[in-house]
Structure 1
Amino acid sequence: MTTSSPAGSGWLRQTLLLGVELRPGELRGVLAMFATLFLILFTAYLLKPAREMLILTEGTAEIRSYAVALQALLLLVFIPIYGKFSRQFDSYRYMRIVSAVCVATLLAFAAAGQAGMAISVPYFVWLGAYSVLIIAQFWAFASELYSREAGERLFVIVALGASLGAWVGSALSRELVNYMSAYGLMIAGAVTLALAALPARWATLSVPSESRATEATEQTSHPSIFAGFQLVLSRRYLLLMAAFVIMLNLVNTTGEYLLSAILEQMYAEGSANGSIAVDKGTYVGRFYGGFYFTVNLLGVLIQYFAVSRLIRMGGFAVAFLLTPCIVFLGYASLALLPILGWFRYFKVAENSLDYSLQNTARQMLYLPLSRQEKYEARAVIDPFGQRLGDMLQAGIIFAGLHWLGWQSTDFIPAAALMAATGLVLALLIVRERARILAAQKNEQQQE
């Protein structure tokens, strides 16, 4: 920040930019990255209500849980292909290619659905894989574009684009479900996703040399198409990150199942007593539209007012550990006192923290890594790790319902135990990251 600005102007600029120190030439690039991520998340929240409308109309919460597991199997095939092609293109061009493939797939789903084909499960599976892969692709691009020092300062502003895009998208989709079918939402999402690649080009041209990634972290050569999996298995830091993402998502999707089960119960009771007069698809679409709206509004507020200040005052470790700590305490409290009426509010808090604070801190984990690790290892840790957590969750739901005879509330203590495991993994990651940074600092001093 320049010191020549008037006091009032400087205060306003600090507030609008979340208290982040912007250096000369950085504003245009960081706003372009903000806009790209805004459009990516805006698109995601046009597509998510369409997913819920289709899967819970044609199936049940249990079928939804099993469909989530298929996403991991899809990624087993797709990630090696993704990693192989990521070595052949520069980061911006590769981002455009991935986006174009996703746009074409969305339009194909919309056309097939309007032609009368049953697409709920295929679309659900594809969207789960897409939603994590497209975001991982963006952050790989961002962490390659910015140096570690610049990324730790500027990612807070960039990540606000995710929170704001998700909030605006959920607010709009909450209204659109009253006028558009699921297929109309898919077409709208294809348009906004196509637009997302445009500001990313401005970012590549606008980031000053002082803020660009110049550290040539040594890469391990892995010509195999399974290089990403080999990288993760060969490095303790990456393996801990993968285990943490799996556990975090295992806890979150168990909560999503509980929320869906509660929603089905509410609809059945409301239909029986006449208090609900709309069809199930509309009821589900309205509920999730409102749910996502609240989650993302709270996420925006946390991102805007709390994240940068927490990182600056408490440091990375506090920011990274806070969410898994709160999630553990929340599920532990619900296990002791299972008040289902309050569960939706806890899910709002959990998802809001995950989308804002935890997401920002998790992206910073990749800044000290090589390009190959930022792309190929990230594609394993984020998309595949999340979907593997989903697959394990589906197994837990199946075993609990069909072998153990559990009711929905019986899954809460299991979620609390998994949340405790996630907190332990987070502590180990913080320690390993500190070790890696210290080793890199020693190498630089020796040079």
Structure 2
Amino acid sequence: MAAHTRIVDLFNLRRGELAPVTIAAAFFFCILTALMMLRPARDALGMERGIESVRWLFIGTAVVTLLVNPVFGWLVSRLRRLQFIAATYLFFIISLGGFWALLVFAPDAVGARSGQVFYVWFSVFNLFVTMVFWALMADRFSSDQARRLFALIAVGGTLGAIFGPWLAARLAAPLGTPSLLLLASGFLAVAIALAWGLVRLGATEATPLAPHDAAPPESARIGGSAWAGLRAVAASPYLMGIAGYVVIMTIVATFIYFTRLQMVAAAEADLDARTALLGNIDMWTQIAVLVLQVTLTGQIIRRLGLGIALAILPIAMAIGFLGLALYGSFLVLILLEATNRAIQRGLTRPAREALFTVVGREDKYKAKAVIDTFLYRMGDVLGAQTEGVLGRLGLALGGLASVVLPLALVWAALGLWLGRVQQRRSRPDDAGTPSAEP
């Protein structure tokens, strides 16, 4: 009992919150473990035909996410919450089983084309399984809880992002790569069980649900149109603002991604040393994410507000790209990438997900799916194509900085505005009928 009290006090938990937060963190741990076990294979297969092929794979992924969104919207409209969450994860579990069967029973059929299919599939898988998780979190927890607890819940994902690659490295040789697909499926199956436990716990725990959930969570289907998500984003300034924030964020992250690919591809000497350095930087980045999530993120969000938390990443990226344009060194790029990952995962992601706690249930799943999958990937496409054009024009790092700096101003302004609107909509007197309008 004393240990329970110390944990509650340490992490600013309130009565009845420890159990749902623990289940949610374990849920996210399983998802990120499955994802990070498979990501190295995705990147290796995607690079098989060169950097230009990756640009086209980004376009393919954006098209697929657009096509999948109405299917997901249809599931949300027709099924109850636990049913469409389980259906989404089961689809990816079955897909992993199909890839496993291909690798085991028809290895000769595995080539560049099937590798590209896996790349696109994994990119869609990556976005949808995390989107569904955070949509459930926004549906399960109130705005106040999101500000206090989302960073703590995100710790589970960070631990999974560390555990997944470690597990893959230990088991790839003795079990073989195909077996990793089955193991990832197992983690997704556990995630379904944890989702069920989290929702069922919400019906009995004293902790409040999100403010717009007056009805029992599983009492009725959400209903609506399969295309409601696209229409909601187009009609709502608030959702459009979130979409703009996400698109700019992915454009800048894609600039970093392709800049690293270009620098590594151009390096002829000490490539192995640089590869090892990137691995070490990734490890230290995850540690930085953990430190942010456990110690600073909750404090920044509670004391400075969501707006400031969302504006920190744009400011950091503007400074980083300016430094990259001035010095153009591999070390500066690594520091920029590590900073982007640490702030985005440790601070921006929990703050961004809290924005969805003040919209209606239909928007939490359908509009969020559009923003976090299709529009996210459109940001990838815009970033990849813009970087390619600047490279062909010979503008390189200076050209990227000239694009990033004005984008960062808009990006930071969006973050501050979204924080103010979210705070206004989260007031108790505004927690009645949900509206996506500011």
Say whether the fold is shared (TM-score over 0.5). yes
State the one-letter code of the partner of 2:122: L
> Aligned partners of 2:256, 2:174: CA distance in 1, in Å?
30
Q: TM-score, normalised by structure 2?
A: 0.86
The alignment status of 1:415 with 2:416, answered yes or no, reads no
Contact 1:302-1:357 within 8 A present in 2 as well: yes
Q: Which residue of 1 aligns with 2:129?
A: 134
Out of 297, 308, 311, the position equivalent to 1:307 is: 297
Q: Which residue of 2 aligns with 1:279?
A: none
> Aligned partners of 1:182, 1:213: CA distance in 2, in Å?
41
How many residues were matched structurally? 420
> Equivalent residue of 1:33, what SS?
helix
State the one-letter code of the partner of 1:22: R
State the one-letter code of the partner of 2:28: L
Contact 1:173-1:289 within 8 A present in 2 as well: no
Contact 2:324-2:397 within 8 A present in 1 as well: no
Pick closer, same or farther for the CA change 1:26–1:237 going to 2, 3 Å. Answer: same
> Equivalent residue of 2:13, what SS?
coil
Q: Which residue of 2 aligns with 1:383?
A: 373
Contact 2:42-2:119 within 8 A present in 1 as well: yes
Q: TM-score, normalised by structure 1?
A: 0.85
Extract unaligned runs of 5+ from structure 2: 216-221, 434-438
> Aligned partners of 1:410, 1:180: CA distance in 2, in Å?
46
> Equivalent residue of 1:269, what SS?
coil
State the one-letter code of the partner of 1:38: F
Quick check: 420-429 or 45-54, which moved more? 420-429
Deviation at 1:140, TM superposition (A): 1.2
Extract unaligned runs of 5+ from structure 1: 277-282
> Aligned partners of 1:111, 1:369: CA distance in 2, in Å?
42
Deviation at 1:48, TM superposition (A): 0.9
> Equivalent residue of 2:385, what SS?
helix
Q: Which residue of 2 aligns with 1:237?
A: 238
State the one-letter code of the partner of 1:354: Q
Deviation at 1:420, TM superposition (A): 3.2
Q: Map Cα deviations across residues 3-49 of structure 1 (whole Å, 9 max, x no partner).
A: xx76x97555533xxx22221x3222221111111110111111111
Deviation at 1:214, TM superposition (A): 5.0
Q: Which residue of 1 aligns with 2:218?
A: none
Instruction: Give the aligned CA root-mean-square deviation in angstroms.
Output: 2.9
Deviation at 1:206, TM superposition (A): 2.1
> Aligned partners of 2:208, 2:200: CA distance in 1, in Å?
12
Quick check: 161-170 or 75-84, which moved more? 161-170
Out of 209, 212, 215, the position equivalent to 1:215 is: 212
Q: Which residue of 1 aligns with 2:12?
A: 20
> Aligned partners of 1:306, 1:435: CA distance in 2, in Å?
24
Contact 2:310-2:351 within 8 A present in 1 as well: yes
Q: Which residue of 1 aligns with 2:219?
A: none
Deviation at 1:260, TM superposition (A): 1.7
> Aligned partners of 1:10, 1:216: CA distance in 2, in Å?
29
Deviation at 1:189, TM superposition (A): 1.8
Contact 2:147-2:298 within 8 A present in 1 as well: no
> Aligned partners of 2:156, 2:394: CA distance in 1, in Å?
43
Quick check: 367-376 or 160-169, which moved more? 160-169
> Aligned partners of 1:182, 1:428: CA distance in 2, in Å?
46
Superposed counterparts of 1:7-406, under 5 Å: 10-11=5-6, 13-15=8-10, 19-23=11-15, 25-56=16-47, 58-114=48-104, 115-116=107-108, 117-118=110-111, 119-175=114-170, 183-207=178-202, 208-215=205-212, 223-266=224-267, 268-270=268-270, 290-402=280-392, 404-406=393-395
Q: Map Cα deviations across residues 229-260 of structure 1 (whole Å, 9 max, x no partner).
A: 10000000000110110110010011011112
> Aligned partners of 2:97, 2:397: CA distance in 1, in Å?
37
Deviation at 1:129, TM superposition (A): 1.5
Identity of matched residues, %: 22
Quick check: 73-82 or 314-323, which moved more? 314-323
Pick closer, same or farther for the CA change 1:224–1:198 going to 2, 3 Å. Answer: closer
Deviation at 1:228, TM superposition (A): 0.6
Deviation at 1:55, TM superposition (A): 1.9
> Aligned partners of 1:174, 1:421: CA distance in 2, in Å?
41
> Aligned partners of 1:131, 1:200: CA distance in 2, in Å?
17
